[in-house]
Structure formats: C-alpha cells, structure tokens
Amino acid sequence: MILFLIILIFALACVFLVMHFSKERSGNWIQFFAKGKEAGFTIKDLEQLRRMVAGCQIQDPVSIFKSQKQFEVVIRSMVNAVRLSGEQYEPATQYFLSKLFDYYKKIEMQVMDNKTRITNSRQISEGQTLRVLVAGTGVYKSEVVKNFGNYLTISRPMNSKAPASMQWNGLKISVYFWREDDAGYVFDSEVIDEVFSKGISSLKVEHNDSLFRTQKRKSLRIKFQKAAFLYLVNDLDNPHKLEKSAGLRCMLDDISDTGCAFKVLGQAQVGLRLKLQFSLDKAPVCMPGTVRSVDYYQDGNMSLVHMESDTLPFGVRNKIMCEVFNMLPEEDEEELPFRVLEEETEGTLAPVAEEMKNEV
C-alpha cells in the first residue's frame, strides 16, 4: 500500500511538472507573438521567426525582442543559412531579412543612444565645432577651447559677412553642434566676457543644464577602408545598374545603409549625383546617391565626400547591413575590389577621370 502511494505521488508530480512546463512554454509563445506584433512583424513573419528561434534553442523566445545579444543569434543564423542554401537571390527571403535588420538596428541604436547622449553643456568635448546664432545678425562658426568650471570657453565666432569689431559681451546666443555618432544639440546661453584663452581670442559663455537633442542619426555607420570606382549618375538610366567599365578610383572611408563617405582627388560639389561601385562578400555592389557635404583639403587637393544614398534594393542593403554588423567572412582581396575589365589600362580610365574632373 505504501509503495502504491509513493508511485501514485511520483506519477502525479510528473504530470504536474509536464503540465507546468507545457503551460509555461505555451505562455512564452503567446507573449512572443504579442511582443512581435508590437514590434511591427506580421503573423507570417512571426511564424517564420518562431521556427528560427526554436532552431537556435533560445529558452525564452520573448527575450529576442528586448535583448540585442539574443536577436543577433537569430539574425546571424539566418544570414548563415541563406549563404549556405543559395537563397540570397530570393526576393521574399531578402525582404524578410531586411525586416530583421531594421529591428536589429533599432535595438542597437537604442543601446548606443543611451551610451553616447549628453544632457548638459559641461559634457561637450574640447575641440567640438559649434554654430553660434545671434538673432538678427547671423550664424557664426566657433569651437570649444576649454570646458571646465562655471562657464564654457569658445573661440571668437567668425562670419565673413559680419563686422570683425562686433561686441559680444552680454549678447544672448543660441548654440548648435553635432556630436559624431550621436545627434545634434541646441542650447541657449549668454556671453559673460571676451577673453584670450590658449592664445586665441575667445568668449566665456554660460553653461546650460538642459540641452535639446535633435536630428538623431538614422543609421549605424562603421569605418570601412575599401577601394571603389566612382561614376556620374545618369538619372535617365537605372542608377542602380552595375557599370562594366572602370570609373574614377576613390577610397571608401565609412559606410551605412543610408550612405557613405569616401575620399577622392579634386574638389567635389554639394548636390552632385554620383554612384560608387565596390565589392562585398566577393560580389559587386552599387550605391547611387547625392553629395550632401564636402570637406576639402587644399594641401593634398583631396575631398572627403559625404553622400546620402538612394533607397537601396533589399539585397544590396542587406549586404551592407551584414558588413555593418560584422556578419560577413573576412575577404582576401587586392587594392581594387573587383575587376570590371579583363585588362585595365590608363587609356580606359582616362576619359572617365577627365569627365569627373570637370564635375568634381
């Protein structure tokens, strides 16, 4: 009798545990679909994502929507599966992968925003470039000389159209600046005094403990040193079409899914329509876009060109996102990323280079 009771109790305990874990697992998947809908995924997307999560043996499915590390496991597994299966050319596959990258980028940017954002003017770095607005007068260029104590020391603001004898003491000003890999910030202040600091004509301005954060970056950018070819865009033709002839050589400096920066000889112009052709994962990639800003270095006759890309096809964008998130294998390539001609000669490059010199 005692033995029977022990067996019965053990059996009931097993049934209870099975029911408990089944209920817990079911509850987790219900939460998974609820959270996924909140994140913007469709039921069809979530069913595919559910199979991937199960394949990755993630214990808590809901965790992928709040954990950068867990979501990376899932998206990396899909990138590897697509590469092995050869499905990278399937439009539906590329579309779904693009949606995963969108969400992964959102998580990553939230994490980085929390790490990099500043809240008051005491946190501005020395050397930071500033734009100083004086109501009714204009916008001036300046930079932070010193930042400590009860005030901020900035170089005397310069504007070629403003009088050099302008009196700054007591003026109300608005200050705007862009922090690299962060966002734009604006704050109001007042000039306390005109001084010399580090041998520079400078202004002491009041600190502000409340910065207004604006123009947050829209994409993640990484340093990306790679040779590329540069072409003028013919918008009457397909700007995404791969060119078969060599263009003007340039060197990529950074890249994101919304644009890039590259170095090229000569002085580029804002508003110019260009496209870059380079390789990723041993395949050619074309990125057309519009020049938004140029840093020209006269000593070397070289421009650092910042280009905003056109909307990219899902396949191209996904390759770039794989590079941004370090999901591509290491490449073993020469200086130029791919050979668009059997034989490259100075004669083939010269006409393109000459055309670019007239525009760039």
pLDDT tens, position by position, 190-249? 999 988 888 889 999 999 988 888 766 677 888 899 999 999 998 788 899 998 888 999
Name the phi and psi angles at 255, rounded to 5. Answer: -150, 150
Give the containing element (helix H, strand E) for 284: strand 283-297
Q: Is the pLDDT of residue 21 over 50?
A: no
Q: Quick one: pLDDT band at residue 7, thresholds 50, 70, 90? A: low
Instruction: Report, as an integer, the average pLDDT of 107-130.
Output: 85
**DSSP string computed for 144-180:** EEEEETTEEEEEPPB-TTS-TT---TT-EEEEEEE-T
What is the distance between the alpha carbons of residues 113 and 111, in angstroms, rounded to a whole number? 6
If phi over 0 gives left and psi between -120 and 50 gives alpha, with beta otherwise, what is residue 142? beta
* Domain residue extents for the chain: 2-116, 121-210, 222-359
Beta-ladder partners of 295: 304
Nearest CA to 55 out of 82, 78, 79 is that of 78
pLDDT value at residue 341: 38
| pLDDT (mean) for 154-160 | 89
Give the DSSP letter of residue 343: S
Q: Name the residue among 329, 286, 319 with its Cα closest to residue 88.
A: 319
Tens digit of each residue's pLDDT (9 = 90 or more) over 52-92: 998 888 888 998 998 888 999 999 998 888 877 766 668 88
- The CATH number that domain 121-210 falls under is 2.30.110.10
| pLDDT value of position 17 | 38
DSSP 182: S
Place of tokens 């200050």: 175
| Phi, then psi, of 333 in degrees rounded to 5 | -130, 160
Q: What is the pLDDT of residue 82?
A: 82
Calpha distance 99→74 (Å, rounded): 13
Q: How do residues 297-331 score in pLDDT, each as one tens digit?
A: 888 899 999 999 999 999 999 999 999 998 877 65
Q: Which two tokens stand for residue 308?
A: 């905003």
Q: Which amino acid is at 122?
A: R
Q: What is the rounded average pLDDT of the residues 32-58?
A: 90
Residue 342's pLDDT is 37
User: Which is higher by pLDDT, 360 or 143?
Assistant: 143
Indicate the average pLDDT of the chain. 81
275 or 22, which is more confident?
A: 275
Q: What is the domain class of 222-359 according to CATH? A: mainly beta
